[in-house]
């Protein structure tokens, strides 16, 4: 019996016998069989082997790789368009192109469906309003405060984050 506890197939046979003819077993054997059944179910339903963990890690890593490549490619395409077009104020439109969103929403739509994308789109609407505030802040910092583009764009991140969280807390109810 002890050997059988470590054997998955024996467990399956035992399960079949317990479920099939419970009255033909003695009470002690019945208790042992039920205990084993619970143990077998736990082991079967939640495998703790390293191979499963590795598989999940690998899948997650692959998802990140796909996101990285898709996001990088879409962003690069919009950046090249922004470089090519003149005047500068028109080319700047492509600085706020939904490049990250295109890659992310396509993956989310394929994986989680339209309901998930609807929730993300709703939040993206608030994020893009915060991006408007960010652009205004960058302009003001560059022209009035006369700081460099790097300093202005990094400092204005505070405006974006603050604006996005403010809009979310006001319009969606929680941060």
Partner 1 sequence: MIVRIKRSALKQTHGYEYLVRFALGGLATVFAGVIAERFGAATGGLFLAFPAILCASATLVEKHERDQKARKGLKGTERGRRAAALDAAGAGWGSLAMALFALVTWTFCALRGRDLTWVSVDRLGVRRDQPFFFPAAKFRCG
Residues 70-89 that bind partner 1 (CB under 8 A): 70-76, 78-80, 82-89
Q: Residue 99: exposed, middle, or buried by beta-carbon count in 10 A (0-12, 13-18, 19+)?
A: buried
- Per rule CB under 8 A, is residue 104 in the interface with partner 1? yes
Give, in degrees to the nearest 5, the angle at Cα 91 between 90 and 92. 90
The set of residues, in sequence order, having a beta carbon less than 8 Å from that of 95 and lying 6+ positions away, is 82
In the complex, the smallest distance separating the C-beta of residue 123 from partner 1, rounded to whole angstroms, is 3
Between 4 and 165, CB nearer to partner 1: 165
In the complex, the smallest distance separating the C-beta of residue 53 from partner 1, rounded to whole angstroms, is 17
Between 38 and 80, CB nearer to partner 1: 80
The pair of structure tokens assigned to 103 is 């890659």
Q: Which stretch binds partner 1 (CB under 8 A): 1-9, 26-34, 37-45, 116-124?
A: 116-124
Q: How far apart are the C-alpha atoms of 27 and 81, rounded to whole Å? A: 78
Q: Which of residues 4-23 bind partner 1 (CB under 8 A)?
A: none
Q: Is the peptide bond before 87 cis (omega within 30 degrees of 0)?
A: yes
Q: Which of residues 38-77 bind partner 1 (CB under 8 A)?
A: 63-64, 67-76
Q: Which stretch binds partner 1 (CB under 8 A): 5-13, 27-35, 42-50, 92-100?
A: 92-100
**Nearest by Cα to 102 from 128, 67, 135, 130:** 67
Q: Which stretch binds partner 1 (CB under 8 A): 1-9, 15-23, 42-50, 150-158?
A: 150-158
């Amino acid at each position: 019996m002890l050997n059988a506890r470590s054997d998955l197939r024996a467990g399956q046979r035992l399960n079949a016998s317990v479920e099939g003819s419970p009255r033909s077993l003695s009470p002690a054997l019945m208790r042992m069989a039920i205990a084993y059944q619970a143990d077998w179910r736990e082991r079967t339903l939640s495998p703790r082997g390293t191979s499963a963990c590795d598989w999940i890690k690998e899948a997650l890593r692959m998802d990140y790789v796909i996101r990285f490549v898709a996001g990088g490619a879409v962003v690069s395409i919009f950046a090249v368009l922004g470089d090519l077009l003149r005047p500068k104020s028109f080319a700047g439109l492509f600085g706020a192109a939904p490049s990250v969103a295109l890659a992310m929403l396509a993956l989310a739509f394929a994986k989680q469906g339209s309901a998930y994308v609807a929730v993300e789109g709703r939040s993206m609407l608030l994020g893009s309003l915060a991006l408007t505030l960010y652009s205004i802040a960058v302009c003001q910092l560059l022209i009035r405060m006369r700081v460099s583009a790097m300093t202005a764009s990094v400092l204005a991140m505070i405006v974006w984050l603050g604006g996005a969280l403010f809009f979310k807390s006001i319009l969606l109810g929680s941060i």
